[in-house]
């Protein structure tokens, strides 16, 4: 296991400390939170933890079933106690960029139904300003080239359709992903989110504003849990 992967595993496991028996838990998507899902499954099998989960992607759904976490539909319950998910970047105001795994729409639906959100990441994801990671935007397939052009005009940067080889990446919802290469200069993510969502053809944008309550961050000195002083866990 590489040093980076070991750090991701450490952070993913540490985030499980927020999960208690009886909770309804949102299960995020990505290379770090997969360790959280595996650890929750282990705690259920070995320690008697009792939870139900709502996955944010088909990949997470498959993993959760494999490790024995019972799953429920979000529509069948009255909200979630917590969601644990990854992030591509987070800034000093605990605003996030997410969507590197192309699951941003489902991730945001689950996050907005959760009483708290904990992000697991390694310290490469901590930034002074959002935007070095290309901003993912989920768009409808209908005339998606026109939507991407409109995004380029709005954001005044290069916006491209995310590809996997010769084919466009298709989300679990049957949509496409546009990546906006803005650079680390997103100073008002709240206003930017609203402006992007105002474009017809945009389904959702990977700016998660006012949602993150804590970050479990793994670095060379170990795991650090950083609580948002304005968050719901403070």
Give the chain's residues under pLDDT 50. Answer: none
Identify whether 89 is a catalytic site residue. no
Cα torsion 204, 206, 207, 209: sign: positive
pTM (predicted TM-score): 0.95
Contact 127, 184 (CB under 8 A): yes
DSSP3 helix / strand / coil % (the chain, rounded to 5): 35, 30, 40
> Which CATH fold topology does 135-203 show?
Alpha-Beta Plaits (3.30.70)
Three-state SS at 14: helix
| Domain range list for the chain | 3-125+209-227, 135-203
Report the pLDDT value the prediction gives residue 71, as an integer from 0 to 100: 98
Report the pLDDT value the prediction gives residue 163, as an integer from 0 to 100: 97
CA 62/CA 108 separation, integer angstroms: 19
Q: Please determine whether the domains at 3-125+209-227 and 135-203 fall in the same fold group of CATH.
A: no
H helices present in the chain, as ranges: 3-14, 33-47, 58-67, 104-112, 144-155, 189-197
Report the pLDDT value the prediction gives residue 122, as an integer from 0 to 100: 87
Sort strands 214-219 and 222-227 into parallel, antiparallel or unpaired.
antiparallel
**Which tokens sit at 218?**
């793994």
CA 122/CA 218 separation, integer angstroms: 5
Instruction: State how far the alpha carbon of 41 is from the alpha carbons of 51, 151, 191, 217, in Å.
Output: 10, 41, 39, 21
Report the pLDDT value the prediction gives residue 3, as an integer from 0 to 100: 81
**Which tokens sit at 231?**
């968050």
Report the pLDDT value the prediction gives residue 1, as an integer from 0 to 100: 66
What class has domain 3-125+209-227? alpha beta
CA 18/CA 131 separation, integer angstroms: 29
Which one of the listed residues 107, 138, 145, 224 is annotated catalytic? 107
């Amino acid at each position: 296991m590489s040093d980076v992967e070991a750090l991701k595993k450490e952070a993913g496991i540490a985030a499980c400390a927020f999960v208690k028996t009886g909770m309804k838990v949102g299960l995020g998507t990505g290379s770090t939170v997969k360790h959280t899902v595996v650890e929750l499954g282990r705690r259920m099998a070995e320690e008697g933890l009792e939870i139900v989960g709502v996955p944010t992607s088909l990949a997470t759904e498959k993993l959760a079933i494999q490790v024995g976490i019972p799953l429920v539909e979000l529509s069948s319950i009255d909200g979630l106690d917590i969601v644990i998910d990854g992030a591509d970047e987070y800034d000093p105001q605990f605003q996030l960029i997410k969507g590197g795994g192309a699951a941003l729409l489902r991730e945001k639906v689950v996050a907005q139904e959760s009483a708290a959100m904990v992000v697991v990441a390694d310290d490469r994801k901590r930034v002074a300003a959002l935007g070095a990671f290309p901003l993912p935007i989920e768009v409808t397939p209908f005339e998606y080239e026109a939507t991407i052009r409109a995004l380029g005009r709005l954001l005044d940067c290069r916006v491209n359709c995310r590809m996997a080889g010769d084919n466009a990446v298709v989300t679990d919802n049957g949509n496409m992903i546009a990546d906006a290469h803005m650079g680390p200069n997103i100073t008002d993510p709240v206003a930017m989110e609203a402006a992007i969502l105002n474009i017809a053809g945009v389904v959702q944008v990977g700016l998660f504003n006012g949602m993150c309550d804590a970050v479990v961050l793994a670095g060379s000195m170990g795991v650090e849990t950083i609580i948002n002083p304005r968050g719901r866990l403070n």
